[in-house]
Amino acid sequence: MSKKSKDDSSLAHTRWNCKYHIIFCPKYRRKVIFGELRADIGHILRRLCELKDVEIIEAHAMPDHIHMLVRIPPKMSVASFMGYLKGRSAVIIHERHANLKYNYGNRSFWARGYYVSTVGLNQKTIEKYIRNQEAEDRVNDSMTKREYRDPFKK
C-alpha cells in the first residue's frame, strides 16, 4: 500500500483521495449565472455537496459555466453525484427563481452532460486555473472586439 497522504480520507477498510475537476453549464450556455443568481447557485451547490459528504476544494461560477474541484467518496460514482447535483439544484433554482421557468421551462436549467477530469499531482495547477479563469476570460473577451453586422441588412 502507498504512503499515507495528509489529504487521504478513510472508510471502514479503505484509504481514499478521489479528486475531480468538474465543469458544467446552463442550457444553451446562456449567460445567466450572475448577480443574485450566482450567489444563490453557490449556496445551493455547497449545501447539496454537504449532504452527500462531497468536499468542495475550489469552485468558481462564470457567467456561462461552473468550475468545481471536489473530493467525492469512492462509494459514489461521479455520474451519480452529477445527476444528483444538477437534478436537485435545477429544481431548487426553479423554485426560488420562478421567472426562469419561462426561459428554461420544464425545470431543466443545466445542459446535458458535463466535463470531468481526475486530479492527481496537478491539484495546485487546477486550483489556480479555476481561481484565475474569470480574469483570463475577460482578457480574451477584450481582445476580440470585432464589429458584427447583420448580413441581411444593406
Instruction: Judge whether 115 counts as a catalytic residue.
Output: no
Cα 141 to chain centroid distance, Å, stands at: 21
Please state whether 33 falls in left (phi above 0), alpha (psi between -120 and 50) or beta: beta
Helix residue ranges per DSSP H, the chain: 35-51, 78-96, 100-104, 123-143
Going by C-beta distance under 8 Å and a sequence separation of 6 or more, which residues neighbour residue 42?
59, 61
Give, to the nearest 10 degrees, the angle between helix 78-96 and helix 35-51.
140
Catalytic residue, chosen from 20, 102, 129, 148, is 129
Looking at the DSSP bridge assignments, the partners of residue 54 are: none
| Cell numbers found for residue 96 | 426560488
Catalytic residue annotation? 129
